[in-house]
A = this chain, B = another copy of it.
Amino acid sequence: MYTYEHPHPSVTADCVVFAFDGKSLNLLLINRGIEPYKGSWALPGGFIHMDETAEDGALRELKEETGVEDIYLEQFHTFTTVDRDPRERVMTIAFLAFIRQDDYSVVAGDDAAKAQWFPVDNLPELAFDHKEIIKMALDKLRWKITYEPLVFHLLNKTFTMTQLLTIYEVVIGKELDRRNFNKKMLQLGYVVPTEERVQGVGRPGTLYMFDEEKYREQINNRNVF
């Protein structure tokens, strides 16, 4: 038992993990195996330990509950509404992540009955205020994508222009001109063609890759105004 002179809140970390399967933008959810909200879907996450940062806690819980590990998490908001958890005062620090869906075989862990991908435009009922958290994460993603090439975390090392275009279209929710998009991406300098071609239905396409070096050079030199 732990005692304090003043009341203390609990603090959790929750992860909003996005992935792209070629068609739709998906979100990783777990089916809660314990009360409260047992049986409901929820964001992976849990209580932060006293010897770990919020980010470490988020990564640990994510791994325990879904098997997903070794990813980059970005903190985006802390939710502190007084009654957001029926048990006690719980604040949650929310994180965003973008991963390649195929790289991770999602497996349910101890705490959660199961983990599963859901398309963001067709989510189930959610525990706690997780619907609100996801809304804010989506807003952040839609804004961030306009100035940071985070979509590359969602794609394989090499990808076709059409795959890249599809992600942008899905995230921002409207169609883009294929010619202008192609031109723009190549002109940016950090999307570079490889020698490989992809075979399949239709004419084989060039596979491109993201040149992180060139991107870093650019952001260091960029003018803000």
Contact = CB atoms under 8 A, between A and B. Distances in A.
Interface of A: 1-11, 47-48, 50-55, 75, 77-78, 80-82, 89, 91, 93, 142-143, 146, 168, 172, 174, 176, 224-225
Contact of A93 (B50, B80, B168): B80
Contacts of A77: 75
Nearest to A9: B11
28 contacts: A2-B3, A2-B6, A2-B8, A4-B8, A6-B10, A8-B10, A9-B9, A9-B50, A11-B11, A11-B91, A48-B80, A50-B89, A53-B80, A53-B81, A53-B82, A54-B78, A54-B91, A55-B80, A75-B77, A78-B78, A80-B93, A91-B93, A142-B224, A146-B224, A146-B225, A172-B225, A174-B225, A176-B225
- Which are the 5 A-B pairs with shortest beta-carbon distances? A8-B8, A54-B80, A78-B78, A2-B7, A3-B3
A13 to B, nearest CB: 9
Query: Which of A4, A11, A55, A80 is packed against the most chain B CB atoms within 10 Å?
Result: A80
A48 B9 contact: yes
A136 to B, nearest CB: 11
Query: Which of A77, A91, A93 is packed against the most chain B CB atoms within 10 Å?
Result: A91
A5 B9 contact: no
B225 A168 contact: yes
A151 to B, nearest CB: 12
Query: Which of A47, A82, A142, A176 is packed against the most chain B CB atoms within 10 Å?
Result: A82
A203 to B, nearest CB: 26
Contacts of A9: 8-9, 11, 48, 50
